[in-house]
A and B are shown apart, each in its own frame.
Chain A
Amino acid sequence: MFRLTIGKTWVLLVLLTGLTFGLGEGGFFGHGAMLPVLLVLVFSGIKGALVILEYLEMRKAPGLWRWLLLGWLTLVLALVVLAYWIAS
């Protein structure tokens, strides 16, 4: 299975944080625009999955625990998207 090292995971996490910061600073939000919201939440989803699989070593954990954590992340982000869509 495809695996990242701790250092490569850190670089990806910092890059995605930079992109999130850039979208926030660049004034892309407002007027009910959903695209930047979706982009930022996709970045958060990737970052969360990286922490779960690489740092929490859920790749090597029983499947139930892995899917419990990834399921938590997916559900929270999906409900946030729903709330922002309602408000848009």
Chain B
Amino acid sequence: MPSPTPVFAPLPGLASPSQPTARVRAAPRLRGDLGVWLVILMELLTFAILFVSYAFARTQELALFNASQATLNLHTGALNTVLLISGSACVASAVQAMGRDARVACARWLLGALACGSGFVGVKLWEYAGKLAEGVDLSTNTFYMFYLLLTGFHFLHVLVGLLALAWLWWRVRRGDYGRGDLHALETGAAFWHMVDLLWIVLFPLVYVMR
């Protein structure tokens, strides 16, 4: 004879308070503004075309590319990579700090990122000054045309990123953001990380690989 169904059986899917509940995972979410992300995609596409154009142009003038590339300073290229990577870590830490409502820590991390970015600008200007003194310009040869175009276009993105970070730092100091309002910070962070990502491809391509 079948056992009778209990009258007060819990409904399917409803756990009693004594039962362990499964951890709820946050729904996937894009960090930052969708409009800025579309701009980031366009920038990535533009740089992809430039990177691949450089690599294939090199196949036509291999000796010239190798000889010209040997004049670049690998030390400053590596130093700038570390500065951008460190800047990215600072920005990520700033967003994380604001997620805990730690506004002072967030502002300090942003200052750290600004210092790293400014260091990059200083090193790059020093490098450009050296090249200008050697008489290098866009018309010198195909390698230097790509070198100035790629690094110069990237340099402009670093400057825009620095302006965005400075503005975010000022707003954080003013107390405009909090734990529930990370949108602007996440948007600025996304742009800065894109600048870092581009350099991660640019550095080995232009400075290292022969």
Interface residues of A (CB under 8 A from B): 6-7, 9-10, 13-14, 17-18, 20-21, 23-25, 29-30, 36-37, 40-41, 43-44, 47-48, 51-52, 54-57, 60-63, 65, 68-69, 72-73, 75-77, 79-80, 83-84, 86-87
B124 interfacial contact with A, CB 8 Å: no
B92 interfacial contact with A, CB 8 Å: yes
Residues of chain A within 8 A of B205, CB atoms compared = 80
- Interface hit among B7-15, B164-172, B193-201: B193-201
Smallest Cβ-Cβ distance to B52: which chain A residue = A79
CA distance A87 to B63 in the complex (A): 10
Is the CB–CB distance between A87 and B197 below 8 Å? no
Q: Chain A nearest CB: distance from B109 CB in Å?
A: 10
B20 interfacial contact with A, CB 8 Å: no
Partner of A84, one of B30, B55, B81: B55
Residue contacts A-B, CB under 8 angstroms, 9 given? A20-B208, A24-B204, A29-B209, A40-B209, A55-B89, A62-B28, A68-B41, A76-B51, A76-B52
Residues of chain B within 8 A of A14, CB atoms compared = 82, 85
Q: Chain B nearest CB: distance from A5 CB in Å?
A: 9
Interface residues of B (CB under 8 A from A): 26, 28-31, 37, 41, 44-45, 48, 51-52, 55-56, 58-59, 62, 66, 74, 78, 81-82, 85-86, 88-89, 91-93, 96, 189-190, 193-194, 196-197, 200-201, 203-205, 207-210
Q: Chain A nearest CB: distance from B4 CB in Å?
A: 45
Smallest Cβ-Cβ distance to B30: which chain A residue = A61
Residues of chain A within 8 A of B51, CB atoms compared = 76, 79-80
Smallest Cβ-Cβ distance to B204: which chain A residue = A40
Smallest Cβ-Cβ distance to A81: which chain B residue = B55
CA distance A54 to B56 in the complex (A): 31
Is the CB–CB distance between B52 and A43 below 8 Å? no
Is the CB–CB distance between B52 and A9 below 8 Å? no
Given contact pairs A6-B96, A72-B44, A76-B201, A36 touches B193 in the complex (Cβ within 8 A): no
Smallest Cβ-Cβ distance to B57: which chain A residue = A83
Pick the most buried of B37, B96, B208: most chain A CB atoms within 10 A of its CB.
B208
